[in-house]
């Protein structure tokens, strides 16, 4: 019995991929580490490749706090100091393969204000409009903070918004936080997808010619996609040479 049909997203210009906060402080050994967060980086690199291959747009947000940011404990906030501008912890993971022309969005730069959403106080909406983006795919950290707030804002601004479930992870400080974040995104009209929902160039048959069974979710196929993503991630890394936003 077919219980789940893969969606069939075909990435094309002017779709955009927004990668949120894959910064050292949110990863293993960082100031505010998210459990297993390093494991989504190969998956994100896989999506980056797919968007690059399709000549679609890639953007990356970063938490970019001044040293006295209001969200830090010393200022009465909930968090240890993290992602302080120009420090090592604020750098993107060296494993993240951002294309050279990635548009970088710095957020939460005002010491007086917390801003989880990549749209909050940034030029992100403007950048997307200039590029003519209608459909935004979002992956990154953290599901229950940056991702949910960014996705809800994207929906409010009228973007078709797809959350990449296999490319996001949350803090889940309270049990259920991540589940509630997902619920909130869906209630706001976001869609959810995983790599299965993007037919590979090789096995991408026109949907009418595909056997219904071939569209069933196949864990083995998904594992294969992830394996490919990991293998690809070992290739030569392109680094962002210039950060357009700062």
> Which residues of the shown chain bind ligand VGL in the complex (CB under 6 A)?
21, 63, 79, 116, 141-142, 145-146
CA atoms within 13 A on the CB side of 216: 9
Phi then psi for residue 114, to 5 deg, are -80, 145
Phi then psi for residue 3, to 5 deg, are -105, -20
Q: Take residue 192 and report the two structure tokens written for it.
A: 């959810």
Is 15 a binding residue for Zn ion by CB under 5 A? The answer is no
What single DSSP character describes residue 7? P
Write down the least CB distance from residue 158 to Zn ion, Å: 27
- Asked whether the CA dihedral 17, 175, 187, 110 is positive or negative, the reply is negative
Left, alpha or beta for 188 (phi > 0: left; psi -120 to 50: alpha)? alpha
145 binds, among ligand VGL, Zn ion, none (CB under 5 to 8 A by kind): ligand VGL
Write down the least CB distance from residue 211 to ligand VGL, Å: 41
Query: Are residues 22 and 93 in contact, defined by beta-carbon separation less than 8 angstroms?
Result: yes
Sketch the per residue contact string, 54 through 83, with Zn ion: x for CB under 5 A, - otherwise.
---------x--------------------
Closer residue to ligand VGL (CB): 41 or 141: 141
Closer residue to ligand VGL (CB): 63 or 153: 63
Closer residue to ligand VGL (CB): 58 or 115: 115
Q: Using CA atoms, how far apart are residues 176 and 84, in angstroms rounded to an integer?
A: 28
Closer residue to Zn ion (CB): 118 or 162: 118
Catalytic residue numbers read 21, 107, 146
Write down the least CB distance from residue 93 to Zn ion, Å: 16
141 binds, among ligand VGL, Zn ion, none (CB under 5 to 8 A by kind): ligand VGL
Is 25 a binding residue for Zn ion by CB under 5 A? The answer is no
Tell me the CA distances in angstroms from 93 to 17, 52, 139, 143, 194, one per residue in order. 17, 19, 15, 18, 22
Is 144 a binding residue for Zn ion by CB under 5 A? The answer is no
Write down the least CB distance from residue 19 to Zn ion, Å: 16
Chain residues that interact with Zn ion, rule: CB under 5 A: 63
């Amino acid at each position: 019995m077919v219980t789940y049909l893969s969606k069939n997203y075909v990435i094309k210009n002017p779709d955009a991929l927004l990668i949120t906060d894959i910064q050292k402080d949110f990863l293993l050994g960082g100031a505010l580490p998210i459990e297993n967060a390093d494991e989504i980086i190969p998956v994100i690199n896989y999506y980056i490749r797919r968007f690059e291959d399709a000549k679609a747009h890639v953007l990356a947000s970063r938490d970019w706090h001044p040293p006295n940011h209001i969200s830090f404990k010393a200022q009465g906030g909930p968090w240890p100091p993290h992602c302080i501008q120009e420090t090592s912890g604020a750098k993107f993971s060296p494993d993240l393969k951002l294309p050279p022309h990635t548009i970088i969005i710095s957020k939460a730069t005002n010491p007086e204000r917390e801003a989880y959403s990549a749209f909050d106080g940034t030029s992100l909406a403007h950048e997307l409009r200039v590029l003519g983006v209608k459909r935004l795919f979002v992956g990154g950290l953290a599901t229950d903070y940056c991702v949910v707030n960014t996705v809800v804002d994207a929906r409010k601004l009228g973007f078709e918004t797809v959350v990449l479930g296999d490319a996001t992870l949350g803090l889940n400080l309270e049990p259920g936080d991540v589940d509630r974040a997902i619920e909130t995104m869906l209630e706001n009209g976001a869609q959810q997808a995983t790599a299965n929902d993007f037919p590979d160039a090789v096995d991408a048959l026109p949907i009418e010619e595909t056997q219904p069974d071939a569209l069933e979710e196949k864990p083995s196929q998904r594992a294969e996609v992830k394996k490919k993503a990991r293998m690809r991630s070992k290739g030569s890394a392109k680094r962002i040479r210039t950060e357009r936003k700062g």
